[in-house]
Amino acid sequence: MTLDDLIEAAWREDIAHGDLTTDACVDPEKVGEGFIVAKENLVVSGLVPAKRLFWLKGAGFEPLVEDGAHVVAGTKLARVHGLLARILMCERIALNFMMRLSGIATQTSLLVGEARDADIRIVDTRKTTPLHRELEKAAVVHGGGHNHRFGLFDGVMIKDNHIKAVGSITKAVERARKNVHHLVKIEVEVEDLEQLDEALAAGADVVLLDNMDDKTIKAACAQAAGRAILEASGNMDAARIASLKDVVGLDVISVGGLIHQARWADLSLRFV
């Protein structure tokens, strides 16, 4: 689905056959302007879909900051102008995009901040809103995080159910290595140190340490001794990131909550 398709679907959901209130009350020829304003400190994201929405629906949208900007409450993020009826119909859809995505960027910035000055990446997962993945992963980047694989098509990750379906980690890695081209890295999810040994022996390029406690993660890093990229995941919050950021040998912390636990940022649109 393209961005335009997503916008049109959102438009049909909200407007359908028309805006009863605006159609009944507002002069269709009246023009004016307004501003989208941050009502709290936040990291901005979502300007691209908002601007595209206004353009597609015949109104003007002028960003006053950039995606990724850290702003304080009261900051004007964008100027909107044109037919007031059109602006009113775009208002909620645009705010929904920006509030959701700015919330993700803000949440990401907070967690990335816990790993400040450490040689470790904070990355997202595939736990995204259906059809919003590209926007939500962009919001993670705006917040200072990094992206994991985009979908099933651009990276091999052998998880617990793959292992059960195939029979062992070794067999799964062998089959993956045989059937994907030489530029694709193979990641294996492990739940204990015994599985870690098997994944390393099988030649995994990346090992995901799934739902391990901090003590086991540290032991796993020592055991791997740099033989693979190590990623920790599962119940990662600010406190755990702070406690793990300096663990030697841990390269990546993946956090689904960058997206699915993010609180929407508070924005409003006001006419002048």
- Which one from 79, 159, 218, 227 is the annotated catalytic residue? 159
- For the question of residue 245 being annotated catalytic, the response is no
Distance CA 5, CA 119 (A): 39
Q: Are 237 and 217 in contact (CB under 8 A)?
A: no
Please report, to the nearest 10 degrees, the dihedral formed by the alpha carbons of residues 212, 213, 218, 220 taken in order.
-20
Reported as half-sphere exposure (CB side, CA atoms, 13 A), residue 3 has a value of 17
- Which one from 127, 149, 177, 227 is the annotated catalytic residue? 127
- For the question of residue 227 being annotated catalytic, the response is no
Closest to 145 in 3D by CA, of 184, 117, 106: 106
Distance CA 175, CA 165 (A): 12
- For the question of residue 171 being annotated catalytic, the response is no
DSSP state of 245: T
- For the question of residue 8 being annotated catalytic, the response is no
- Which one from 52, 79, 92, 121 is the annotated catalytic residue? 92
- Which one from 67, 91, 124, 189 is the annotated catalytic residue? 189
- Which one from 91, 124, 210, 231 is the annotated catalytic residue? 210
Distance CA 141, CA 18 (A): 36
- For the question of residue 92 being annotated catalytic, the response is yes
Compute the residue count for the chain.
Answer: 272
How far out from the chain centre does Cα 267 lie? 19
Catalytic residues: 92, 127, 159, 189, 210
